[in-house]
Amino acid sequence: MSDEEFTGYAQEFAGTVYRVAFHTCKNAADSEDVLQDVLLKLYQEKTPFESREHVRRWLIRVAVNQSRKLLRSAWFRRSRPLEDCAALLEEAAPEESGVFQAVMNLPQKYRTPLYLYYYEGYAVREVASLCGLKESTVSTQLQRARQKLKQMLEEGS
Partner 1 sequence: MEFHPDVYKRACSKLNAPPDAVKEAIEMIEQKRKPRKAVRNLLVTAAILALAVLAAMGANAASDGELFEEVLFFSVCKTTDESGEVKLSMDVAENGGEVKLSMDVAENGDALQNAQKFTITEDGEGKAYLTYTDENGIQVREELDLMEDKANAQSASAGQENPEADAEQRAASDAG
Q: How far is the CB of 11 from partner 1 (least distance, A)?
A: 6
- Residue 150 as a binder of partner 1 (CB under 8 A): the answer is yes
3-state secondary structure of 132: coil
For 116, what's the count of Cα atoms within 13 Å in the CB-facing half-sphere? 31
Phi, psi (degrees; rounded to nearest 5) at 80: -60, 120
Residues 1-40: x where in contact with partner 1 by CB under 8 A, - otherwise, as a string: --x--xx--xx--xx-xxx--x-----x--xx--xx--xx
- Of 14 and 71, the one with the shorter C-beta distance to partner 1 is 14
- Residue 100 as a binder of partner 1 (CB under 8 A): the answer is yes
Asked if residues 17 and 61 have their Cβ atoms less than 8 Å apart, the reply is: no
How many residues bind to partner 1 according to rule CB under 8 A? 43
- Residue 71 as a binder of partner 1 (CB under 8 A): the answer is no
What is the rounded CA–CA span in Å between residue 153 and residue 157? 6
